[in-house]
Amino acid sequence: MKNNLLLLCTIAVGLVALPDPVLAQEPTGKKPISQPLVSHIYTADPSAHVFDGKVYIYPSHDIETGAKEDDEGGHFAMNDYRILSLDKIGGKAKDHGVALALKDISWAGRQLWAPDAAYKNGTYYLYFPAKDKQDVFRIGVATSSSPTGPFKAEPEPIRGSFSIDPCVFADTDGSHYMYFGGIWGGQLQRWTTGSYNPTGKLREKTEQALLPKVARLNADMKSFAETPRDVKIVDAQGKLFTEGDNDKRFFEAAWLHKYNGKYYFSYSTGDTHNICYAVADNPYGPFTYQGIVLKPVTGWTNHHSIVEVKGKWYLFYHDVQLSGKTHLRNVKVTELTHNADGTIQTVEAYR
């Protein structure tokens, strides 16, 4: 009994290797196409970047806290970030330890959710959502001289920021844009008037779906150069989706990549578990829906990134292969293919 208690405690804080993981039930008995990058801790929401020829992954660090599961994501109670790196795709991933902890963010109260990173002029920037002391999600920024940290957080969140899932895209002209937002536990539905309303409601099925946000960053990379605006995702006829189109509409997990001069906005549909994408001619959109990047994985959530590494494109994502539990996830990677016409070949995570 003593040994079992010790094992449970060490798993909860993510300090030791996980024992003999129980596999989640794969769809119709199929096997995963890729394996977890690390198994000694639980990781999710992988934002991947190439810095100086090396792949760095900025994930959430899932832990077991015993919190009850709910639609607000209260059981996702992460309290630090740990950065992974790969010398090459297919190589062994290195865990660089704690890069930023909740206790070192003066304005934050709880829940360090999906982060992203950027680099400019010798400084690495870590962008992260956290609930402030009033339990409202804001987006913070921390800096380091190393891609693996440690990172030092700014004393206040980014002014004008809200909700979750920041993605910072560096365009070829040197501009940087932050895409963000998430409904349900991500609180985007509470910001429809421009200020926080704790009783803000989700949209009905016949109403226009809530939209993600985008704002260009100032040169300091720590502030918005403009008021965040809607990222419009439309169908082939230019029509916005309704909440009832929940297999296509935005839920969370914004990501942007550029391919052959086009801007690809990809995202999770949340309760229908797809990673979809839409394409535009400029970083503000509107983005025209194209299809599914990744079909549902085991576990309730999915959150991804798309990055080019040495001339090939890769999709980073997560599932729950190691634990079988929605809030204890593991990051993975697989190759991604753009067709000759610019469309993306849909990935099936199991075969």
Catalytic hit among 45, 62, 80, 116: 45
Give the C-alpha separation, 23 to 316, whole Å: 20
pTM of the model: 0.92
Question: Residue 47, SS3?
Answer: strand
Active site residue 45: yes
CA atoms within 13 A on the CB side of 274: 17
Percent residues over pLDDT 70 in the chain:
92
Q: What is the mean pLDDT of residues 259-273?
A: 98
Show the tokens assigned to 245: 């189109």
Residue 269, pLDDT > 70, answer yes
Burial of 310 (0-12, 13-18, 19+ CB in 10 A): exposed
pLDDT-derived band at 9 (thresholds 50, 70, 90) equals very low
Give the C-alpha separation, 229 to 212, whole Å: 8
pLDDT-derived band at 74 (thresholds 50, 70, 90) equals confident
Active site residue 252: yes
Q: What is the mean pLDDT of residues 46-66?
A: 97
Show the tokens assigned to 49: 């970047």
Give the C-alpha separation, 142 to 130, whole Å: 12
Residue range 166-211, pLDDT digits in tens: 999 999 999 999 999 999 999 999 999 999 999 999 999 999 999 9
Topology of domain 2-336, CATH? Tachylectin-2; Chain A (2.115.10)
32 alpha-carbon distance from chain centroid: 21
Which residues neighbour 39 within 8 Å (Cβ) at sequence distance 6 or greater? 17, 18, 21, 322, 330
Give the C-alpha separation, 148 to 52, whole Å: 13
* Residues 127, 177 contacting (CB under 8 angstroms): no
Residue range 218-239, pLDDT digits in tens: 999 999 999 999 999 999 999 9
Catalytic hit among 62, 80, 252, 319: 252
